[in-house]
A and B are shown apart, each in its own frame.
Chain A
Amino acid sequence: MTEQTSNAVKTYLARLDTALVGVDPDVRFEIVSGIREELAGLDDQAASARIAEMDDPALIAAEARAEMPQPPAAPAPAVAEPVPGRAFSIAAVLVLIIGTFVVPILGPLVGLVWVGMAKAWTRREKIVAWVRPFSAGLIVLALSFVASLIGQNQPSVPNQPTLAFAFVAQWHVVFIVMFIVLPIEGIVLLVRANKRGWRAQPQP
């Protein structure tokens, strides 16, 4: 048997179905079906009277939504926090690298001081940044000193100009090593800080 559905019922059910968009499909179907059952077989007048007693579709939908299990709260979108002292950290590492060549001694010294003040590196990295070039210099100096001692033990007649040359050469080697160690150190610091977004600790 085909039942005639009144226009009022059709309209109400359509409004209800639309209002229930986003509600679990099974629940949505059950609600619409449940109300359709209640309105089935009523003529236009009786259906309109019955609908007038019913709740507004928006209210029914709101109640249904409130009853549904809440999805887990989405994590808050990551807000790009300004990196503290990023420009200063970059300047520090550039002064360390370029300063070594442009203003020897003073340039890398300023660079290291700035690296020590910057926020892009951990305390340990800053200590290592200071210790590494000095250690390298001392090691080179010690090696060349040992080499010169071995040279003095050779059965040759030492003369003053040769010793003076050896002394100058030792310090010269130290400077050359500094020209290699300091820029490499600067590049290592730059790469590490850049990987972490110029923060001492990487962002979670």
Chain B
Amino acid sequence: MVADVGTQLRKGVVEFCVLGLLSRQAMYGWELSERLVASGLIASIGTLYPMLARLRSQGLVTAYDEASASGPVRKYYRLTAQGESQLDSFRQQWAPFAATVDQLVGKDSGS
């Protein structure tokens, strides 16, 4: 169980992190993937697309093609109104939830 904590925590929040990133600006797949990989939330782009498919099927995210002046036509992802609402709900719950877990788990005695 202990070895799996990181994976479980990431799985629990990564979709909301995607919603959070997309709430600031529309992003294309690779761009999103690089941000999430750099943050240690996903291992590779292989994790991202099934997640984006889920978010799209739930109506939280939508996609559109956009041609860039310098680069190729890319598929961008952005939040829907439902996605915004879901993210707001998560934001409201996250702080008290994290505070409660902090309180229950306590501080690392080794640090």
Contact = CB atoms under 8 A, between A and B. Distances in A.
B43 to A, nearest CB: 5
A21 to B, nearest CB: 13
Contacts of A55: 43-46
A43 B73 CA distance: 17
A40 B70 CA distance: 11
Contacts of B74: 37
Given A24-B53, A30-B52, A30-B53, A37 B47 contact: no
A62 B45 CA distance: 11
B30 A38 contact: yes
Interface bin, chain A: 20 to 34
A181 B50 CA distance: 70
Interface residues of B, number: 20
Contacts of B45: 31, 34-35, 55, 60, 63
A28 B49 CA distance: 8
Nearest to B28: A37
Interface in A1-49: 3, 23-24, 26-27, 30-31, 33-35, 37-38, 40-41
Contacts of B72: 3, 37, 40-41
Given A24-B53, A63-B43, 16 more contacts: A3-B72, A27-B49, A30-B52, A31-B46, A31-B49, A34-B45, A34-B49, A37-B28, A37-B72, A37-B74, A41-B71, A55-B44, A59-B43, A63-B46, A67-B50, A68-B50
Interface of A: 3, 23-24, 26-27, 30-31, 33-35, 37-38, 40-41, 55, 59-68
Interface of B: 28-30, 33, 42-47, 49-53, 71-75
Which 5 pairs across A and B sit closest by C-beta, in order of nearness?
A63-B46, A34-B29, A60-B46, A67-B50, A40-B72
